[in-house]
Chains A and B, each alone.
Chain A
Amino acid sequence: MIEITDQPIQVQSCMDAVQSERAGAVDVFIGTVRNHNKNKEVIRLEFEAFDAMAVKKMKELAEEASRRWPVEKIAIVHRKGILEIGDIAVVIAVATPHRKDAFDACRWVIDTLKEVVPIWKKEMYENGEEWLEAHP
């Protein structure tokens, strides 16, 4: 299950997607929208994605994670559009035989997703907005 969606992400469906009788561990990372960043009060976020390339890159992350760790199944789902405080922006679920690999693979996937997948986050404040990471 690798997708970009403009609908609320259902965590349970991500967990169901990685269900495996060979797995003794499922690690789930849930990225949520927080109400502040660098001392600014955030009122909502907007995510924009280059959908086709983002899905392609997310599939490559899943393949690379499966080369590095004994991954049974993996789900990566990222939301786009307008999100309110507390909404789920991204879910990564990784099933492996043992827990250490699930933690390690899940962490690597979210860290690498943030570096390479073409998705952009705009924070909106009371008095303005800003694309994150754009400027030094």
Chain B
Amino acid sequence: MELTIHLYGITRDIIGGSKKSVQLPEGARVQDLLEQIRKDYPSLAELKSLLVAVNEEYAEADVVLTERDEVALIPPVSGG
């Protein structure tokens, strides 16, 4: 399946652009997405943390992804 990942903050700079298409096998989980994208962009490993939001909620590593999900990478937040 093809997922469109929304990018913010430093992940937008590292990956380039505000969206990125990622090919993953059916049934892939959040941890699979993170492994794939860290392999493609090794400098993501230098971040203090990297979370995934699925449908506007922080998602645990074992959450299963589908093409209908709105998926975003969440680098360390720094609002306020």
Interface residues of A in 70-95 (CB under 8 A from B): 78, 89-90
B27 CB–A CB distance under 8 Å? no
- With A90-B79, A118-B53, A135-B48 as contacts: A50 and B74 at CB distance below 8 Å: yes
- Which of B12, B13, B56, B78 is A53 in contact with, Cβ under 8 Å? B56
What B residues does A136 contact at CB under 8 A? 48
A interface, over-half SS: mixed
Query: Is A9 interfacial (CB 8 A cutoff)?
Result: no
| Cβ-based interface call for B40 (8 A) | no
Q: Per-residue 0/1 for A30-55: is the Cβ within 8 Å of any B Cβ (1 yes, 0 no)? A: 01000000000000000111101110
Query: Once bound together, how far apart are the Cα atoms of A120 and B71, in whole Å?
Result: 17
Q: How large is the interface on B (under 10, 10 to 19, 20 to 34, 35 or more residues)?
A: 20 to 34
* A48-B8 contact given A131-B13, A134-B47, CB 8 Å threshold: yes
Least Cβ–Cβ distance between B75 and chain A, in angstroms:
6
| 7 shortest interchain CB distances as A-B pairs | A119-B79, A120-B9, A53-B56, A132-B78, A131-B10, A114-B80, A133-B78
Q: List 11 A-B contacts (CB under 8 A).
A: A56-B56, A78-B80, A113-B79, A118-B79, A120-B77, A120-B78, A122-B9, A132-B78, A134-B47, A134-B48, A134-B78
Contacts from B to A (Cβ < 8 Å): 6, 8-10, 12-13, 46-48, 53, 56-57, 72, 74-80
